[in-house]
Each structure stands twice: as structure tokens, then as C-alpha cells.
Structure 1
């Protein structure tokens, strides 16, 4: 006898006490063939480092000096960063002992909105190659800081872990190499070719740092073109590896590069049992019994489904989504109509690449990363069915509780001029660590609600559930999200039933300046923020590794409901232009001061292009992008509500 549908709807409580129902996701084999729902290969993720961040420690006299190798280039940029750095006296001389010849551009700049600090930026055209002398005087004895350097020479540091598995007691191995890149930071050749054209390493250090501040330095090994180091974490939480490499190019010139690779370490789990239950004529429940699950309430699951057919043994669909832990097990739901629709016959059905991850800081929790195969046997399939819109929605998202997302009264912490309980609204959301200075509400019409929760470092899952709680006062809504607000809106639509699912025709999710595939600033700015005791900390979901793992669980059908926009500064030929004096040295052009344009596009989404003359947030060289009334008016007119 089939289990009643109502028994299969599992809910969880958000932080504000509302219940939310996860979707039971299904996607066609095309989402596997195009790679969108496959685990990302570590060596294909991330961006190269084209800069160096050199630690500064002022001596007892408040002085510091270093020798900086500079290769042939047309532009050298330097910025000292640290508390009180606006009072430092900085002397820079080239290998011939010369200082500013009148061509240098020396500008005082504000590190806001990142840090409450002034500093000075030095832009030096066509610097003489060789060892430059950098001296700092008149600082506070014992003060610390960083010298941020970028030489724009086209040589970069690349890093990646050998696996995205980062678990307590299990080795984590990081690799690094140097390579040539183009102006956008994309490698022109792989690491082996880099060695062939004469790039080599003179010296390298890697330092591992744990969440409690402990530091470990382990000898760096050379393995072919790669530098390699292995660390075994002993505690959960955010970890990082600080890498510094001094290299030499084919002409014998040395250069310096550094980077910070971030990890989020979790506790391992194991899979101890698999059982299947045929629930009805269409659905099979696959229950995974988890060992050592501790106090977790849910997991993020994903698996490929293969079976025989006229075309042989082939992938037929992908299944996954958020799954509640109940009685020590989590459930994958297979709608067997996918097998019929994709040409399968149900014979020799197997799950492949079964992944179990934490819902926030999306990390593999199995030491092996995934389970290669799980046999389900022969499954009986529906002989025929009509794949109409209602049927396809049930196959793609499961069967939802259509009342769980409504609250009996407003759960909002911010009531705006047009809030109406039970209405059809447009929710405007800010991003990560926001001070609430976001969308001008007057640029939008009709029923509009401003989501506000300031200075938060949410995972995408936490952010999405907070948006959900805010939205329970409405029957339906669309979301316009800035920065991480766009990630959270997509996450909410992909994984949970909410007011987004009952909105009118129109664009469900619209995102501006959203780091769909990550940003360097998700980690690097937090490291600099430690100098000032300022900022919200590392956000792993927005690092390159974290973002690509997160996206690998989001089907195309959810991406297609998302519209994205990016921004960048206006670049004049007669000057060095940027959105922000600091982040310009970290990010690759084009960028908006926080997010590189290439990372603001969503594979499978509706990418609306880049608008010139805007930057990410306030206190940058161009106006903040949320003030662009042209884009806002389009978002307003096209939004679902």
C-alpha cells in the first residue's frame, strides 16, 4: 500500500519559528551532460592570484623595510594597509636608487566601506625591472599591516586543493603553481606548459591557520610543476592556507605572488544502510541511514540516476535537494517518470556519484567525497504519461505544502510603506554584511517590501531561510537581490517551497552584482579586517570553491528563473581607473569593486550584461549600482509578485 503523500512532507523550523518545506528535486540527464549538476573538479575552480600581500611588522622604532622583485611590466601599484597607515612615511626606490621621477601617480584614498582608514596608493608606469627598495618610517612600534602589490606582468599564482573534502582528522592537500594569464586572469597555458616556457619557483612558503588562530608551517614539496603541502585539521570551522611564492620568468626576472586559500572543515559522516520504498505509482523513496550524524538537522543531497534503455546503460536524471534527518536517515526521492521520459526501462537502476553535504558552507561530508555506485535493482516504470506543466513541476520540485510558507501574522523585522499582509509583493534584499544602505525603495512601485538584517555573515542557506521568514507575511512575491541577496533568493527558490512558487508571471529572481561563482573578497577582505577589528568574517559560500560547490546542486530549471546584471567602472585611457583603491589590486578586470563580472553571470540563467559607470556599493569611484534607475525600473516592471 502506498504511503500517504502527507506523510512524506518533512518540514523544519527557521530561526524565527516558521516551518519551511524542502523541495524534492529532479532534473533531466541534460543537467549532467552539461556539467551543471556534477561535482566541480578542484583544478577547474577559482581564479589566479596576480598580486602579493606582504606582511608588515614595524620594529621598535616604528620602521620596516623589504626588497620587492619587480619583473618587466607597464604598471606597478602599491598600497600600504594597517591601523594608522595614513601617518606612515613610505619611501620607494628603483634598482638604480631613483625615486619618483614625476611620472608616478600618488593618491590618498579611503579604504571605506571596507575599513575606517585612509591610505596612499602609488601607481608607477613602466617601472625598471629588478629589486625595488621599500621603506616605512614613523609608524607605531610593533604595529602590523600588509603591503599590497600588483605588477600587472601577466604571471600569476594558481592554487587548488586535490579534493574539496575537508574533514577533521583527514588530510587536506593544497597545490600551487605559476602560470601566464591574460588580462582577465584566465590561464593561457597549464602548469606543465608554464614550466616549459621557463617559469620556475625560487622559494615558496605555505602557512595553515585554524579558527582559533593557531598556525602551522609544513615543508612545501615539489611534485612536477606543482608545489604541494598536506595539512590534517583537528577542529571544525574556517581554515586557510597563506601561500607566498617567489618565481622567475624566462628572462631571469623574479616576481612575488601570494594568495589565501580558504577551507571550511566539518566532521565526517558515513553511510551505513540504503533502503528503498515504492510510495506510489510514480515515486520511489531512497532512505540513506547516516552514521555519526551528531546533532545535524538536515543535509544537502545529490545523485545521478542511471538505468538501461534502448541506448544502453545511460544517465537518466539527477535527484537531490535538502533532506531532513529523521530517525538517523535522510531521503532522496526518485520520480520514476524521469526514467521513462529520458528513454530508460528501469532495468539495472543505479545511483551514481551520491553526494552528501552540509547545507551551509556546502562541503562534502563523506571522506570519499561521494559514493560511486548504489544498486537499486529493477524498477517498474509508468508505461506512459503526459509531461504537461503540472506533471513536470511535480517531477522537478516534488509535492509541496502550499500553506507552510504563510504565517498567521507578520514575521518581518522591517515594515515598509507598502507592506500588506497576505498581498503579492516584491521583496528587495541587500547582501552580505550590509549596513542596510541598499535599494532606494522609491525606485520601485506597487507593493514593495524591504528586507533588512544588518551586519550578518550568513551562509546562503541561512540567508535564504531569513528571507523566507520575512516573506511569510505575503501570499506570493518576487525577489530583487543585491550581491549575496541574489544567491539567497536563488537558493530559496531552488531548495524550499515559498511565496516565490506562487508568484504571478514575471521574473522570480533578479540579481545585481551577485557572486554566483565567488569572489576573492569573501576571504581576503576578512583577513585584512583582522587588522582593524572590522568586518563580518570569511564567507565560504562566496569563495570560488564554496560557490561552485553550491551551484553544483542547483538545476537548470531554477537557474532559468533568475535574471542577472553586472557593473563596472568607466575606464579612461589617460588614467588608472578602478572602482575601489584597494580591491582593484585583488580583483581581475572588469569588476565592480567586489565582484568580477565573469563571476556575476549565472550559467543557465538570463544574463543581462554589464553596465558601465557603476560600482558595487557606496564609497567607491562610481555611484553604487543599486542607484541605477534604468535597471531598477526594468526589474520593477518585469518582476513577478
Structure 2
């Protein structure tokens, strides 16, 4: 819970602000064997360079493969340079051959992949462009529920269009670009596939007719993957050329498992309310519980994230007054008065600080599914019932103590009771946390002291599941701080915000330190999961890391929780013709990036910037050293870490 001044920070951003932009094209999946090569064409509409990446299951596949790339005159073209790398993030990587062609001829190119093996081989082909045309697509809602209508908007735009885009809007189309076809392949959770065409939208924005629309009405809960390919024509140096782009968009749809009834009431726990004497001496921690009535409508989850804003009537003026926001994880329990409920804690100090009398109300209420943070039910305003005896008691305390309020420090800064204090001042640990699908620990043990590795290797975990696993692992220590890589940083902040753990008992300068963490999402996890499904390997889908899911998650993370995180970031060095950590990643990620995470997506609005460095990449096997192996930085992390 926290101050009403933070209300604006907890508004879920427009879905248009977490759209997917693509400068690449993916032809149909490659399947080939001896005597049956793969042949695909692709349009080149750029004058600087074009990149071709071939992603396969095993590096040994390349030993029997032959790739021939030819220009519009059907002359074989030798790449300006090529790299043998691994496209991926953290522990999920695929061997990738990437070829760059500088100053390519505009027109239709061709790629032929053949093999001497009799076994059928599978591969993904990615084409990256250095030009300005960008395929930009977005959902129109965050409320992704079965039975509802979801609109998908898309437009061929450019950098100027993105820079000029107003928040909550689609960008304007690129002036000289004409879309001739936009085809969507929708992969449904029940393993069915549908192919549809996008049509001109007449309602989305002023760019009438150039913004395209696809309407989806999901009936099954689960993960939906949408592969869109677009083709058309634009002018380059006064000559018409064809273009192609494609994009992957992944989103979850959930059932409407709970419904708010519009009823809520306050009850008090066993702790005494503040007395006049306690206000003048030591600050205690009494609190209420706000019980919110719900009706189960489908299979109910074990826990939900609940958020609301408490309002009351001012003691003197009688006007509506904001009290506090309240939020937390809650299971569905039973209340004798309301039946099925979810509950949120409300400390009485906030009522005193606002001089707030009953009647109280709860505004901007939302109940979210914890694996995707999709709102399953919401309400603009509901009255909070207060019993007459409790109402009189609150009025008495507010009127007596309001002018003498000494506001307690909230959240993790409360003085801990003796039962929760660390008994052994030397018993704390620094837990080193890896990222998504990691195969081993990210940090070298030689750089750290009094530490322990969290080990949950080669797994794809939701944010909430990941956080609870860290909590469970940390239970063996009196207290601990966290140094986390990639998705581990998200899980660490989630743990600190929503669950009690040894992290709350740690002492030292920095509770949480993260490096290379996509706090605002990454498009790589879902593309890699799609490739893994094609070639039969991988850790599985993780839509929790998508742009829109991370924006929904971050919308309810309090500012003071974010302030406990020290954020390190890195990227490739600049100055060359083509600058990269991982050349095939540049086909998918915006620039600059660390080979896995776009720097703009590492932003934690209230986090503590700890340093940004060029010439370091997300993990091993990239063009620059890995960000977790810098001895100087690791010494700082180790020295300043809370334990």
C-alpha cells in the first residue's frame, strides 16, 4: 500500500504503447533433405545492407548444408561477411549462420538451402533490413478474456512515424508505402491454425485506410501466437520497389474465472487500533482487511493479484479524499458476510494521514491472473461497508489522533518483531539468480563470497512461479540479498513486492542488483519458443516476458519496491558499419541492445541506475564479453550486496 500520489503510476499503459515493431521478414519454415532443397524468395528494399540468418537445431547441420543466395539478376552473391553464432537468450540458444550483404541490389532475391543428408532437416530463415520501413502491430486491449473481442491493428510506418506517435495511438503510415497484402497465421492454444487477411481499419486513427485490422474472438484460454507477413511497394530513389516484413506477436487469453459483485467491507484483525498514547510514543502496526466479494465463474486459480484505491470523507470538509492504494496477492477465501472474497490489507495510519471518515469506497479495482497479469474482473467504484461499531471507533480515533499523526514507515521498512529478526548477524547469503532457461549459473563463483547459487536450470517459469521458487530456496538462510541476471531480476523484484522472505531481513546497502533484465519485456523468448517447437527443442513458451505482459506487471509494482533495485545495463560498442552483440538478434531487437534485451526495455522507472557500459553482451558466445563476467563490476556487486 502507499500514497495517493502514486495513483497515476499504477494505471496500466495503453496496449498501443507496448506494440511490436519489426524490421525483419521470416519466409515459411525451411524443410529440406537430400534431393529436395528449400527455395524461398525475399524482397530487398534497402540500400545499406541486408542480413540473412539461418537458425537450426545443431551446429553439425551446417556441415552438410549448402546455402546459395542470389540477387535479382539470379547471380550468386558472396556475403560481405558472415558469423557463426547462437541466436537466443540466457540458456535457450540455437546455432545460427548469419550473412550480411552490404549495398545490396534492390529487387527479389532468392535463397536455396540443400543438404547431403537423407534425413529431413528443419530450419528458420530470418531476413533483416537496414531500411526505414517498419511493420508495427498492436492489440487494442489488455483485457484478454475468452468470449471477448480482441482487435489487432497494424501499419507500415517508419522511424519518423514512431517518433511522432502520440501515447495511446498507432503511428501514421509511411507516406510512400502501399500495403498490398497482410496475411495472419494464428496458432491457437488447442493446436489448431487459421489463416486470415487483415483489412483496412476505418476507426483506429486519422490514417484512415492505411491502418489494418484483424478481429479475434477467442473461445479457448491459453497462449496465442500470431505470425503476420506483409508485402507491398514503396519508392526508393524515385523507383518503385517491393517490400516484405513479418512479425511475431504472442498473447495470453484467460477465462473470466472471477466476477466482482460490487460489494466490499472492512473488518479489523486482532491487533488493537492506535490509541492516543501510542501515537505519542511508539508507532505500532495495526491494520484492517478490506474484503472484496467475488463470484467464481470458472476454474478458480490459487492466487490473484488484487489492486484498488481507497477513498473516504474528509474529517473537516466532508469532501471525497484519497486515502491510499492497496495491492497484494490474495487467494479466494470465504467470509460469513460476503461469501467468496479476496482480501487486501489497509493500515489505519493511512486513514489518519488523510483524516478520512466513513463512508469509504474502493476505486479502480482490478483482479489479475498472476501468470499473465490479465485483469479478469474490474470495477470503477464500489462502496466499502463498515459496521456501525467499527465506524464509530474509526471516527473517534481519526478525530482524536489526526492532528497528532506520526506516520509509520510502511512496507519493508517496518521495525521487524523479534521473531523475524536475523539471529546470526553473519548468517546471511548473497543469492546469485540466473535467467530464463539458463543451463548453468550466470555469475562466476570466484568473484563472490558468502553466496549461494539458485539453480532451476533449463526451465521456463512465469514471474510469480520464479519468485516463489527463489523464496523457497532462500528459506534455508537467515537472510539474503539477490544479484540477478535477466529474468531473474524481474522475479527478484516480484518476490520483494509480494512475498515475505529472508530478503526482508537482510542488512547492507543493496537488497537487489540486476543486470540485463528486461523489465519492460523482450520479443526474443516467444520467437525462440516458436523456433524450438519447429525443430523439436527448447524450454517452452514464456509469454510472461512479452511487452504487454511486462507492462501490466510493472503497473502495480510500487515505487518504493522499485527503489530497492540497482540496475546495471550493457550494450555493444558502436562506431562500425554494423554494430552488434549478436548479429541475428539485430534482426529482431531495436538498437542498441545487449544481444537479448533492448536497452530501452531495461528501464525500471524508480530503480537505481548502477551503471551502463558499452562492449559487453548478455551472455557468452556473443561479439563482446558477457556482462556477468566483469570482475570489477562483480566485486562491486559482492561488496555492496545486502545479506
Question: Which of 171, 192, 202 is matched with 2:149 structurally?
Answer: 171
Question: Which of 445, 449, 465 is matched with 2:452 structurally?
Answer: 449
Quote how far apart the aligned CAs of 1:315 are.
Answer: 4.6
Quote how far apart the aligned CAs of 1:167 are.
Answer: 2.3
Q: 1:201 to 1:346 in 2, by over 3 A?
A: farther
User: Which structure has the greater CA radius of gyration?
Assistant: 2
Question: Which of 227, 233, 258 is matched with 2:218 structurally?
Answer: 233
Are the counterparts in 2 of residues 425 and 478 from structure 1 also a CA contact under 8 Å? yes
Counterparts of 1:547 and 1:635 in 2: how far apart (Å)? 26
Quote how far apart the aligned CAs of 1:287 are.
Answer: 2.4
Q: 2:248 maps to what in 1?
A: 260
Counterparts of 1:250 and 1:187 in 2: how far apart (Å)? 21
Q: 2:99 maps to what in 1?
A: 122
**Alpha-carbon deviations, 1:207-227, whole Å to 9, x = none?**
211234211223422103322
Q: 2:17 maps to what in 1?
A: 44
State the secondary structure of the residue aligned to 2:410.
helix
Choose 502-511 or 607-616, whichever is displaced more.
607-616
Quote how far apart the aligned CAs of 1:199 are.
Answer: 2.9
Q: 1:29 to 1:514 in 2, by over 3 A?
A: same
Question: Which of 629, 632, 635 is matched with 1:633 structurally?
Answer: 635
Q: 1:186 to 1:561 in 2, by over 3 A?
A: farther
Counterparts of 2:79 and 2:491 in 1: how far apart (Å)? 46
Quote how far apart the aligned CAs of 1:82 are.
Answer: 3.4
Q: 2:70 maps to what in 1?
A: 93
Question: Which of 374, 394, 398 is matched with 2:382 structurally?
Answer: 374
Choose 451-460 or 288-297, whichever is displaced more.
288-297
Are the counterparts in 2 of residues 178 and 247 from structure 1 also a CA contact under 8 Å? no
Question: Which of 578, 587, 590 is matched with 2:589 structurally?
Answer: 587
Counterparts of 2:580 and 2:351 in 1: how far apart (Å)? 51
Alignment of 1:110-509 (within 5 A): 110-111=86-87, 118-138=95-115, 143-181=121-159, 187-189=163-165, 194-195=172-173, 197-223=175-201, 224=208, 225-251=210-236, 252-268=240-256, 269-272=258-261, 274-279=263-268, 281=273, 283=288, 285-292=290-297, 294-307=299-312, 313=320, 315-327=322-334, 328-341=340-353, 343=354, 345-346=356-357, 349-366=360-377, 370-376=378-384, 380=394, 382-383=398-399, 384=402, 391-393=408-410, 423-445=427-449, 447-509=450-512
Counterparts of 2:362 and 2:170 in 1: how far apart (Å)? 36
Counterparts of 1:325 and 1:400 in 2: how far apart (Å)? 28
Q: 1:5 maps to what in 2?
A: none
State the secondary structure of the residue aligned to 2:561.
helix
Are the counterparts in 2 of residues 203 and 245 from structure 1 also a CA contact under 8 Å? yes
**Alpha-carbon deviations, 1:144-191, whole Å to 9, x = none?**
432201111122111211111222333332221121127xx9544468
Q: 1:320 to 1:582 in 2, by over 3 A?
A: same
TM-score of the aligned structures, taking structure 2 as reference length: 0.84
Are the counterparts in 2 of residues 55 and 144 from structure 1 also a CA contact under 8 Å? no
**Alpha-carbon deviations, 1:22-58, whole Å to 9, x = none?**
xxxx12122223x3x1112101114411111212344
Q: Which segments of 5 or more consecutive residues in structure 1 lack a partner in the other structure?
A: 1-25, 408-419
1:106 aligns with 2:82: yes
Q: 1:635 to 1:141 in 2, by over 3 A?
A: closer
Alignment of 1:511-550 (within 5 A): 511-550=514-553
Q: 1:320 to 1:192 in 2, by over 3 A?
A: closer
Counterparts of 2:266 and 2:527 in 1: how far apart (Å)? 47
State the secondary structure of the residue aligned to 1:27.
coil
Q: Aligned-residue CA RMSD in angstroms?
A: 3.1
Are the counterparts in 2 of residues 286 and 334 from structure 1 also a CA contact under 8 Å? no
Q: 1:620 to 1:107 in 2, by over 3 A?
A: closer
Q: 1:213 to 1:82 in 2, by over 3 A?
A: farther
Q: Which segments of 5 or more consecutive residues in structure 2 lack a partner in the other structure?
A: 202-207, 274-286, 335-339
